[in-house]
Amino acid sequence: MHLEFLSLGMLGGGLLGGAGIGSLFYKRLQKQLRKQGYQINTIEQLYNEVQRSSLRLDQNYLETIEALVRALEARDMYTRGHSDRVNQYSVAIAKKLNLSETEIEEIHHGSLLHDIGKIGVYDHILLKPQALTDEEFEMMKSHPQLGVEILGSVESLKKHVPIILHHHERQDGSGYPLGLKGDEIPLGARIVQVADTWDAMRSDRPYRRRLDLEIAVGRLREASGTQLDPNCVDAFLAAVNSKTGRVLSA
């Protein structure tokens, strides 16, 4: 039903925005709509209905992302808030890089979902209060692929796969899962890497305290060009207040 509305509505919207509607065509369309059982008197009403349906779809889409992120964070109290902070930093970097509105929106949603594969990691690893052993770390490293398995078949969410799959790659090729280098890594993933690295350094863990601001900035600079994309690091440092570490308003 929605799809039918959508295609007819786009037709109506296009015509309404154009030179006008030929009366013969308009009558034919009304007749056709009546035949199909729609209780709609004008194309304008149809167009408005499409607009409302589209808003509902957008709302459902955002609510789906929100529910997935909250499901992840409900499992792991130590990473609670991590997705939101990475999201805030990622969007700030994207804006500093002057990306388009569409790209910024994709980074906004993709960064929220970047760690969604952790839903599939065993509790004794995900919730372990000490540092992971090598073997446990190898299992934790499966979360990008697990994320793709969870979301890769969902039509409206599969566009976020590049961020989910590649957010642990590194500029020098030493990351995972594929060991991509430099620009082989999708830009969204390079942005999230910087945001993720920063949040990891600036968050307390049960087995270590967070780094002081100056030390964290120094580490980020050291990693620029080897682990992290230098342009994304520069954009991040330009987007945060050097005294507080808070994101400056764009």
Separation between Cα atoms, residue 88 and residue 174, nearest integer Å: 26
Site map (CB under 5 A) of Fe ion, residues 75-114, x = contact: ----------------------------------------
Say which residue the tokens 């005294």 belong to: 243
Q: How far is the CB of 168 from Fe ion (least distance, A)?
A: 6
Q: Is 115 in the site for Fe ion (CB under 5 A)?
A: yes
Nearer to Fe ion, 108 or 141 (CB): 141
Which residue has 């509505």 as its token pair? 9
Longest dimension (CA), the chain: 75
Which C-beta is closer to Fe ion: that of 49 or that of 115?
A: 115
Residue 169 lies near Fe ion (rule: CB under 5 A): no
Torsion of CA 15, 17, 22, 24, to 10 degrees: 40
Minimum CB–partner distance for residue 192 and Fe ion (Å): 9
Total interface residues for Fe ion by CB under 5 A: 1
Give 76 or 103: the residue with its C-beta nearer to Fe ion. 76
Contacts of residue 175, defined as CB under 8 A and 6 or more positions apart, other chains included, come to 168, 169, 227
Which range in 27-35, 102-110, 115-123, 158-166 contacts Fe ion by CB under 5 A? 115-123
- Counting DSSP H helices and E strands in the chain, the numbers are 12, 0
Nearest distance from C-beta of residue 230 to Fe ion, angstroms: 21
- Which C-beta is closer to Fe ion: that of 115 or that of 229? 115
Q: How far is CA 167 from CA 16, 67, 81, 113, 233, in A?
A: 44, 21, 18, 11, 15
Q: Based on CB atoms, which residue is closest to Fe ion, 115 or 169? A: 115
Shortest Å distance, C-beta 188 to Fe ion: 14
Give me the least distance between CB of 204 and Fe ion, in Å please.
18
The least distance separating Fe ion from the CB of residue 121, rounded to whole angstroms, comes to: 10
Query: Would you count residue 73 as binding Fe ion (CB under 5 A)?
Result: no
SS3 224: strand
- Identify the residue whose tokens are 């409206």: 156
Q: Which two tokens stand for residue 216?
A: 């964290």
Q: Of all residues in this chain, which one has the CB nearest to Fe ion in the complex?
A: 115
Question: Which residue, 115 or 199, has its beta carbon nearer to Fe ion?
Answer: 115
Contact 149/143 with Cβ under 8 angstroms? no
Binding residues for Fe ion (CB under 5 A) = 115
